[in-house]
Amino acid sequence: MILITGASGQLASQIIAGARQAGLAMLTASRSTDADRQMDFDRPETLDFTGIETLFLTSAGYAEDDVVVRRHGAVLTAARAQGVGHIVYTSLSRASDHLGFALAHRWTEREIRASGMEWTILRNGLYAELIGALAAPRDGRIKTPFGQGRISAVARADLAEAALAVLTAPAAHAGRCYELAGPSAFSVPELAQRLGVPYEPVPFEVERARLSILPLLSFQPPMLMSISSSAAGGFLEADSTDLQELVREPRDALAIACAIAQRSA
């Protein structure tokens, strides 16, 4: 039996839909009452992995590092104690190590490898949808300071397809760490050119001030700024990817980013 956590999230919901279509023996878990098993990573007593052979752990990365580490640590402790045999984890691509939210992913990878359970790590690239939303034009121009650096973004649907390929035969992927960055990197200037709008990036100080007055959680502005600074520094282009081992025809990440940017403008 497979259990997929984070069932209400955008990535996990796509994986769940594909797993159901494929007829996989699967249960879902989240805080939502719609899930097969209601679980709250902040309440270890709710973590029920009985009868689960393969646990698909969707990262609970939407928080400060210490919170994410505590959540993931609780899941790994409960999973090991309750007899889970294999854990599949959605991590972050190697090219994203300069991002402000990479640390909790690397900590979790280390603990998974030391857990004694079989494991597969899916190092996902940044979503093309996220880059499109962040680079959406404001006042007819793109102002977000991504510099000239290229970004190996990837369609969320491709990451769901890759995850489904692993869940269809988990044992065949045991001990593998897949780098799932997009195979065709693009820059935000290229995105602007495709949209037919000027690219006039503001200084980091201006962008940080703009983020500070938005209705964001306290940890979000630094995370978002780390995407801009990493892109501008040329650190978000992957030198290789394993995506095509799991996804036959990856989607056009630039086209997806453009569509989201237009919709979000």
CB atoms within 10 A of CB 175: 9
Residue 265 has pLDDT above 80, yes or no: no
CB 99 within 8 A of CB 92: yes
**pLDDT (mean) for 15-23:** 95
Token pair in block for residue 186: 């693009």
**pLDDT (mean) for 170-174:** 97
pLDDT in tens, 39-51: 999 999 999 999 9
In this structure, the strands spanning 2-5 and 26-30 are parallel
pLDDT in tens, 88-117: 999 999 999 999 999 999 999 999 999 999
- Dist. CA 111–CA 108, nearest whole Å: 5
- Least confident interval from 4-8, 121-125, 175-179, 225-229: 4-8
**pLDDT (mean) for 200-220:** 95
> Which pLDDT value is given to residue 116?
95
Buried b (16+ CB within 10 A) or exposed e, 9-36: bebbbbbbebbeeeebebbbbbbeeebe
Residue 209 has pLDDT above 90, yes or no: yes
Q: What angle do CA 36, 27, 84 make, to 5 degrees?
A: 120
> Which pLDDT value is given to residue 82?
97
> Which pLDDT value is given to residue 75?
97
**pLDDT (mean) for 199-222:** 95
Calculated CA dihedral for residues 44, 72, 132, 228, nearest 10 degrees: 130
Helix, strand, coil percentages in the chain from 3-state DSSP, rounded to 5: 45, 15, 40
Token pair in block for residue 36: 């097969």
pLDDT in tens, 28-37: 999 988 899 9
DSSP track, 46-88: G---TT-SEEEE----SS-HHHHHHHHHHHHHHHHHTT--EEE
In this structure, the strands spanning 150-151 and 176-180 are unpaired
Token pair in block for residue 1: 């039996």
> Which pLDDT value is given to residue 264?
87
Phi/psi at 120 (nearest 5 deg)?
-140, 130
Beta-bridged to residue 118, according to DSSP, are 86
CA-to-CA dists, residue 138 to 108, 133, 142, 194, 231, angstroms: 37, 11, 6, 16, 19
- Dist. CA 91–CA 108, nearest whole Å: 8
> Which pLDDT value is given to residue 8?
85
> Which pLDDT value is given to residue 35?
93
- Dist. CA 212–CA 192, nearest whole Å: 25
In this structure, the strands spanning 54-57 and 118-124 are unpaired
Residue 83 pLDDT grade (very low, low, confident, very high; cuts 50, 70, 90)? very high
- Dist. CA 80–CA 210, nearest whole Å: 44
